[in-house]
Amino acid sequence: MSPVRVLLFDLGATLTLPQREDAVARMMEVLGCGSPMGEFRASYSRQRPPYDRGTADAEAYWKAVARELGLEVDERRITRLKALDVESWFNMNPEMLKLVSRARALVARMGILSNINAEGAAYLASSCPWASVFDAATCSCDVGALKPERRIYEAAAELHGAEPGDCLFVDDMSENVEGARAAGMAALRFTDVPALRAALSRHGLEL
């Protein structure tokens, strides 16, 4: 067994491939957005924190995005936008799924730690057979905190019955890696699968 007791993975752009641009384009179509994709993505990201924190629901989020873009959105469109949004992110990286499957036998606990909204969390819990390899998921919308805030890392460790120092966290964003380290976890920045495999081996996880 590795000296790492709890191995935690980010979801978006770590366990998944980058957000699907075709789904983003369809979201823009549903909104009736004629702006460049970069402008849409900027609004999409700017309005995201309350939604992922769980302090705003999907309706409030999409109305805020539409308002910033000078558009309006109704309930029917919001229903479609919610589905496309989830679809855009759950674009799994098959090589990472192989890696986590192999890693599971090497640690006492393994989990997901994600900035994710209620719709994404519900999909993760009910529609992802691959997620059964994980013991639990720490979702920002449930905790009411976002990476890189200290509280979400502490909540993840507590969920697994561990201290932050027992945990190794993998994330593609440097600020989230630094947040984990500030909370007392070991942390690795994900760039690609070969580099991650090499980094994990230095923590006693030979994959």
Does some domain include residue 206? no
Report pTM.
Answer: 0.96
Determine the angle formed by the axes of helices 193-201 and 94-103, rounding to 10 degrees.
Answer: 20
Helix (H), strand (E), coil (C) string for 31-69:
HCCCCCHHHHHHHHHHCHHHHHHCCCCHHHHHHHHHHHC
How many domains does the chain divide into? 2
Last residue of a domain, one of 89, 120, 146: 89
Instruction: Domain of residue 53: give its range.
Output: 21-89
Answer yes or no: is pLDDT of 143 > 80.
yes
Q: Which CATH number does the domain housing residue 191 bear?
A: 3.40.50.1000
Helix (H), strand (E), coil (C) string for 68-112:
HCCCCCCHHHHHHHHHHHHHHHCCECHHHHHHHHHHHHHCCEEEE
pLDDT tens, 71-123? 999 999 999 999 999 999 999 999 999 999 999 999 999 999 999 999 999 99
pLDDT tens, 46-83? 999 999 999 999 999 999 999 999 999 999 999 999 99
Tokens describing residue 113: 């730690």
**pLDDT, position 63:** 98
**For residues 141 and 167, is the Cβ–Cβ distance under 8 A?**
no
Last residue of a domain, one of 63, 89, 115: 89
Backbone dihedral region for residue 204 (phi beyond 0: left; psi -120 to 50: alpha; all else: beta):
left
